[in-house]
Chains A and B, each alone.
Chain A
């Protein structure tokens, strides 16, 4: 379970990124599968070449942001459907990621990474590492929460919530969409950079299906913790990510084949999306809403 908590917290950064597009912008962004690997590839190659780790992280974030900008421009300028725009960027990134790495796999085993001090201190795989990861995620989450409360952040949220209203209030919704996608994919790439260092290699296929994991985290978190205020939604995405990894871990412990994990991820997302439409759960939600409305008055 400690491993699941570690993984869940690292992937929580991706979940926050997916929250920004899927929930805040109402833009299901499939760029994630590609930009995650871009972040991992850039940081792995730079670390191997002896670049300072913080430079590698910044380059990774910028790379992910660039991918988000491409998807955003395809949609805003090219009028391409959001799903298709994301898929196109994702596929193009596969080639780009191979170019960055030069091969399908870049090992980091004997390199000094962010994980090296943790490993030397014997913290990896203990609750100590979990605590450190939690602090990092808390900083990222707080930064995103703070950003969403700024003038520009509120404009991004209005764009996803009621685009026509945003435009009639003078918000350039093209800019807010591109910026939102850039920030989201920057976070996803940062997550990829952390993940490469955590597992000790970058691999061309490490991003496959991660959008599903991200969506699962956001949806599970929302289903369990509800979402009203922005800080609650960000926290729900983080906790959703940890729960998702715990569920996967339990499935593995129960003897399921690791090759079936993508299948299980997809099933989890389908369940999380379909269950709330069933009448039993609708009633629970309505009751919750009524209580909230009563409290608000």
Chain B
């Protein structure tokens, strides 16, 4: 579903500040895989997601999504195949647009945006049904501007907007990190539900060890732009946060993200 071959991405190349964010990284995700990603500060986790989504173009290597090479394809062009939820709850929605207009933007992904009405009666029915799955009562507030919603509500909406068009790959970038524990739990549960419902292939960056172990069927650990540990479904069931920490200690000079949560 997703294949990264030998991806290298450098920032500030040729200056004293040159930094290699991704260093010959290889990763292959099969259909329906749900992979959690942990790693130290500056390990290249966010850069990895940005290379997949098309926000960054890698210096070397190939990105293949759903059998198509998209290495140099612009972000908006591959958007129909890539869904993304950001850490910042404000990032995934448009505050001055209403809930239904935000959904219209998301549901029109991959289609031509013409001069037909963005929100019609029949679409509104679909929106209402979809919003009900969030269990936040948003289905009764279609005409409310998204800027009036709480961070948790906006993140739930972002999740719906990222998953509805059934992307080939769903990217989750520490998307529960900015929320309070109960909201984070809700978003985590909704994420599992949406992924299962649409049979999505997903890549989730998290700094929560417990979450990294509980969610998904595979766990990878990154350090200095490379994957240093790859735990499959079977091994993942038996692993613990302490064990992961221990693994991390084996890597010279590596410290886990200072925001790491053990549980």
Seen from chain A, the residues whose Cβ lies within 8 Å of a Cβ on chain B are: 147, 149-155, 157-158, 161-162, 164-173, 228, 292-293, 296
Contact = CB atoms under 8 A, between A and B. Distances in A.
Nearest to A150: B115
A134 to B, nearest CB: 26
B105 A164 contact: no
A166 B105 contact: yes
A296 B153 CA distance: 15
A21 B116 CA distance: 22
A150 B118 CA distance: 5
B80 interface: yes
A165 B96 contact: no
Given A153-B118, A155-B105, A293-B148, 15 more contacts: A149-B119, A150-B113, A150-B118, A154-B104, A154-B118, A158-B97, A164-B91, A165-B94, A167-B75, A168-B82, A170-B79, A170-B80, A171-B113, A172-B74, A296-B144
B179 to A, nearest CB: 18
A247 B138 CA distance: 44
A245 to B, nearest CB: 28
Contacts of A228: 145
Contacts of A155: 105, 108, 113
Contacts of B74: 172
Contact of B117 (A150, A164, A165, A168): A150
8 contacts: A147-B115, A151-B118, A152-B115, A155-B113, A158-B97, A170-B108, A171-B76, A296-B141
B227 to A, nearest CB: 25
A2 to B, nearest CB: 36
Q: In the A-B complex, list the 8 residue pairs whose CB atoms are closest, starting with the nearest.
A: A170-B79, A151-B113, A154-B118, A161-B94, A170-B109, A162-B94, A158-B94, A152-B113
A169 B106 contact: yes
Given A147-B115, A169-B161, A172-B76, A162 B101 contact: no
Contact of A150 (B75, B80, B82, B116): B116
Contact of B101 (A154, A165, A168): A154
B115 A161 contact: no
Nearest to B98: A229
A188 B148 CA distance: 33
Interface string B109-126: 110111111110000000
Contacts of B53: 168
B114 A150 contact: yes
Nearest to B161: A169
A171 B105 contact: yes
A161 B96 contact: yes
B75 A168 contact: yes
Nearest to B118: A154
Nearest to A172: B76
A150 B123 CA distance: 13
Contacts of B106: 169
A170 B165 CA distance: 11
Interface centre among B80, B94, B144 (most CB of A within 10 A): B94
Contact of B93 (A162, A172, A292): A162
B91 A169 contact: no
A162 B106 CA distance: 13
B96 A157 contact: yes
Contacts of B144: 296
B119 A158 contact: no
B84 interface: yes
A155 B94 CA distance: 10
B32 interface: no
Interface in B112-156: 112-119, 141, 144-145, 148
A147 B101 CA distance: 14
Nearest to A154: B118
